[in-house]
Amino acid sequence: MKNKNRLIPIIAVIAIGIVLGSLILTLDKTAPPTAADAAAETTGAKDAPGIAGSRKPQPGTEPAIGRKGGKLLTTDGLGVEVTIFEKGVPPQFRLYLYENGKLLAPSSAKVTVTLSRLGKPAQVYRFRPEADYLIGDGVVEEPHSFDVAVAAEWKGKTFQWNYSHAEARVEMPDAMLKNMDIEIRTAGPETIRPMLKLPGEIIYNEHTVVLVVPRLPGIVTAVYRHHGQEVKKGEVLAEIESQMLADLRSQYLVSQRRLGLARTTFEREKRLWEEKITAKQDYLTAQKLLNEAEIAVDLATTKLRSLGVRPESRSFRENLARYEIQAPISGLITAKAIAQGQTLKEDDNIYTVADVSTIWAAITVYPKDLAVVKVGQKATIKATAFDVMGVGDITYITTLIGGQTRTATARVELENKDGRWRPGMFVNAELTAEEIPVAVAVSAEAIQTLGDWTVVFGRYGQYFEARPLELGRSDGKMIEVLKGFRAGEQYATGNSFAIKAELGKAGAIHE
């Protein structure tokens, strides 16, 4: 019994040792790899036939970080650290060489780097020694999103490494584009039409403004239409009583009666002469009197018609002095200077009527823009206070520069049958300054700002990738691309801001 009691502690110690050993082994197998482990894994690939070292990173792995903060690629004792230097200079490759961790002279190996980007041909960089590194022979354009192939020759051996670096890139399937209202367009040649924007004001069409005068002196007996009212042509605006008109109408009535008497006398004398009862002289006298009576009637009729009075109307017989002042055109009464009981002269301006079915926009043209603005040119007129827009032709440009304003005025005629344009409204006029054909242009709404870049998001398969642009001329709708995008490449327009938001979520924006 005593022996059994002695064995129990020994057995317990052995069991505890076995458990602890198992735990230690388990923790050792599941411990996360260190940077050294990652480097060892990167360099542990099998050599390709005829090549001393060849390495493609496995999914989910990245090259180790070197002393200079770049990507460290190592095989069989040779290390190449790839860095992109961009402090105070355009981005450039700088490579550092190592042998078993020790820095080598940059001239000890020959290295080339090949970059493959989405939608672009491969770009090969060659290097020359400088200080303690190799410097590339070209600028590494933004974004730094590419597949990298590094080839090195050292001590008669060839080494190769490959890795990828994605930046400003996001994956978005076609179905996602429809849900986000993103449209795809293709860059290509366009005609840029830069717009010239000038201020102006709506005014009456001077060609359709009519001053109304009585044409007869008289006293106003009735006023029917007033300032701001619409009138039709021939509508009675006011009535006056005119002694001159009474005299003219009396002369007309007398001449009518004399004509009737002369016609009767002529017909009698003609019949008597034909019957050889009276002498021919009496017949000729009667004919002369008839002709004089006809002339008198014609004269009286002409005087009345010149005043707008119809001689054949019998309504005036009740009051020979009554005169109706009628609207000469259909339009708007813009001024009135008449009141009941007022004594008028024949040339008093008593009404102003304007036909507002057409209207003018008086546009201010600065001297520097006179070479661009031409008669016959189309202009888009937009009200500044609310949403009213129209298109018209420039019909006239003043030949003189204003002494005080030092500007000229261009006149644009606009249709206004619906009355939406009102004189006094301030407007802006947009004119096409010129037409410029360009090789590559993109839609203005596709342009986004990403950090310090002005970009469009190019479409490559299921991916969007930011393309920094150098832009040229614009007309507000299309923008010329000088550098950064080629004709035939597709890009996002419409709700392209949603792509920028997705990049922000993914943390794929260049810092």
Report the CATH number that the domain containing residue 451 is assigned in CATH: 2.40.420.20
The answer, yes or no, to whether residue 270 has pLDDT greater than 80, is yes
Residue 426 lies in a domain: yes
Lookup result for tokens 């006023």: 223
Is residue 315 located within the same domain as residue 292?
A: yes
The answer, yes or no, to whether residue 20 has pLDDT greater than 70, is no
Range of the domain at 19: 1-28
Taking all residues of the chain, what is their mean pLDDT, rounded to a whole number? 85
Q: How confident is the model at residue 510 (pLDDT cuts 50, 70, 90)?
A: low
Q: CA distances (Å), 29 to each of 15, 23, 24, 64, in order?
A: 22, 10, 9, 21
The answer, yes or no, to whether residue 136 has pLDDT greater than 70, is yes
Q: How confident is the model at residue 22 (pLDDT cuts 50, 70, 90)?
A: low
Residue at which a domain ends, from 302, 320, 338 = 320
**Greatest pairwise CA separation for the chain in angstroms:** 193
Token readout for 89 is: 């200079």
The answer, yes or no, to whether residue 60 has pLDDT greater than 50, is no
Is residue 75 located within the same domain as residue 208?
A: no
pLDDT at site 347: 92
Spatial CA neighbour of 362 closest among 239, 201, 206: 201
- Over residues 455-470, the pLDDT tens digits come to 999 999 999 999 999 9
Please state, for a pLDDT cut of 90, what percent of the chain lies above it.
Answer: 56
Is residue 466 located within the same domain as residue 428?
A: no
Is residue 292 located within the same domain as residue 360?
A: no
Of residues 226 and 250, more confidently modeled: 226
Is residue 237 located within the same domain as residue 359?
A: yes
Q: How confident is the model at residue 286 (pLDDT cuts 50, 70, 90)?
A: confident
Residue 84 lies in a domain: yes
pLDDT at site 424: 93
Spatial CA neighbour of 472 closest among 433, 434, 436: 436
Is residue 335 located within the same domain as residue 408?
A: yes
The answer, yes or no, to whether residue 250 has pLDDT greater than 90, is no
- Look at the chain and report how many structural domains it folds into: 5
CATH classification of the domain holding 216: 2.40.30.170
Q: Which pTM was predicted? A: 0.57
The answer, yes or no, to whether residue 38 has pLDDT greater than 50, is no
103-107, 284-288, 368-372, 505-509: least confident range: 505-509
Residue 119 lies in a domain: yes
Residue 289 lies in a domain: yes
Contacts of 90 (CB under 8 A, 6+ apart): 139, 140
Please state, for a pLDDT cut of 70, what percent of the chain lies above it.
Answer: 86
Residue 464 lies in a domain: yes
- Over residues 64-114, the pLDDT tens digits come to 999 999 999 999 999 999 999 999 999 999 999 999 989 999 999 999 999
Is residue 348 located within the same domain as residue 306?
A: no
Residue at which a domain ends, from 433, 459, 490 = 433
pLDDT at site 13: 52
Residue 511 lies in a domain: no
